[in-house]
Amino acid sequence: MSRIAQVIVLAPDADEVMGPLTQPDDSRSWQGRFERLHLFIGGWVIEFDRMRPRSGLLRHLESLAWPHPESVQVLIHDEEDDCFGLWMMRDGVLTELPLPGHRRLHPPAPATHEFPPSPGLLWRIQTAVPTGFSTSRQDRRPAW
């Protein structure tokens, strides 16, 4: 399955934390490297063209020693989403915050672990729910 996704990390004073993530590292569970965005607040972006190479990204970001964890924002946009989703630290865990007028819809979990878990679709509430999708997470494996 091909699902292009962009991830933006915004974090003040985090150059030292994000520096290693701008370099290739085959030991990480996720593949790729972030590019620096030149903003007055620290910003980095990465793009994935498949789902498997991004597995474990959020857990990795949670594990880092952020200078201001309460200010870390992770914006994620999958190719089928209507807008970027927003994750922030809550008790040391990156948690998706609800966005007004939008909901995350989840497909049924696959019968086997042959396929990576789906992050679901972030769609406007006016959009009809596709058959088989629901607002409750049906695949318990983390998609990120």
Quote the CA–CA distance of 93 and 88 in Å, as a whole number.
8
Does residue 1 carry a pLDDT above 70?
no
pLDDT by residue (tens digit) across 62-99?
999 999 999 999 999 999 999 999 999 999 999 999 99
The pLDDT score that the predictor gives to residue 95 is 95
Q: What is the pTM of this model?
A: 0.90
pLDDT by residue (tens digit) across 89-142?
999 999 999 999 999 998 888 777 787 788 889 999 998 888 888 888 777 777
CA distance readout (Å), 143 to 24, 26, 128? 22, 20, 23
Rounded to 5°, the CA angle 45-87-27 comes to: 55
